[in-house]
Structure 1
């Protein structure tokens, strides 16, 4: 598979590279972006470099596709989105995304998620794609519902957030559910 670049009406999704370090570090350092995430804020760019190195190695091994989300009109960096491949026997993957708060509420996360689902089902040939979401993360819940993912479960106190243990909703979509 050649290096994928995905296009939507407004966005271009490209595999993350070391040249994305500054923008990625800035994004991961925003407390609002990390509010419902267990990753934590990077203490410096070296920590972010470790994340980038891991994502790029995972891509080389075809274990994870981490894309930058960029505006097609001016190539502005809006965020990150990932498709992480699970056990090949089950033909399954999970997604996550992080968008800069300046771009929240404009439909970019929904648009990028639809592109990732299309890529996962049509290019990678997956059977099932999952996503987890803190129960208080209303924005992400709306995104996952808008793209047609089904809330299948509720895990109790599974996310170690700064505010304490959080419950998590589990969403999924099957290949047969996908409607581009």
Structure 2
């Protein structure tokens, strides 16, 4: 199995594995994290296992194109969230990122720190040109995170997200390898 670990001052990102099932199920089951998520709350742990099994398989490929990382607190090893990083066509040299953190870690800079890590990984290790993300227009926390790392709002897609509350508009963000941003000090293993 491929090992990829990314470190920042407070965080460790590593590829998810089957032993993360309970922590991922707990994260997906939080009403607060479900509010702006199209996944919905899984009915039971078997449903969560069905969701993460293809992600774990994708992480085990020789040439990974869809990464799913566990976000852990570096000092304690506590699982605090997930971050997905899906590569686009090699011709376009791009990717899309998404993240979900446990509510106990909101508003403390962890999402910004994790996103900076993955931007470093994408631009410096994978030599990408463009990394995109999106969020519901009501998701003020994610908007702040995306803008804090230097992403530019490029678009507004109408009624594209099927949320529990109904159809939501989506802001589309991206950052280029040449854009100014706050970077983390990447150490990759």
SS at match of 2:104: helix
Report the Cα offset of residue 178 of structure 1.
Answer: 5.2
- Which residue does the alignment assign to 2:172? 170
Distance in 1 between residues matched to 2:37 and 2:52, nearest whole Å: 17
Q: How does 1:2-13 map to 2 (within 5 A)?
A: 3-13=3-13
SS at match of 1:109: helix
Are 1:19 and 2:29 counterparts? no
Q: How does 1:122-161 map to 2 (within 5 A)?
A: 122-161=124-163
Tell me, which stretches of 5 or more residues in structure 1 are unaligned?
none
Are 1:44 and 2:18 counterparts? no
CA deviation map 1:132-173 (0-9, x unaligned): 100000000000000000000000111111111100000000
Report the Cα offset of residue 60 of structure 1.
Answer: 2.8
Of residues 107, 110, 113, the one that matches 1:108 is: 110
* Runs of 4+ deviating beyond 3 Å: none
- Which residue does the alignment assign to 1:31? 31
Distance in 1 between residues matched to 2:130 and 2:180, nearest whole Å: 10
SS at match of 2:51: helix
- Which residue does the alignment assign to 1:63? 65
Report the Cα offset of residue 50 of structure 1.
Answer: 1.5
Report how many aligned residue pairs link the two structures.
Answer: 180
Distance in 2 between residues matched to 1:125 and 1:55, nearest whole Å: 23
SS at match of 1:177: coil
- Which residue does the alignment assign to 1:119? 121
Distance in 2 between residues matched to 1:125 and 1:22, nearest whole Å: 34
Distance in 2 between residues matched to 1:84 and 1:72, nearest whole Å: 24
Distance in 2 between residues matched to 1:50 and 1:85, nearest whole Å: 22
- Which residue does the alignment assign to 1:83? 85
Distance in 1 between residues matched to 2:148 and 2:42, nearest whole Å: 31
> Whose helix proportion is higher, 1 or 2?
1
Distance in 2 between residues matched to 1:51 and 1:119, nearest whole Å: 25
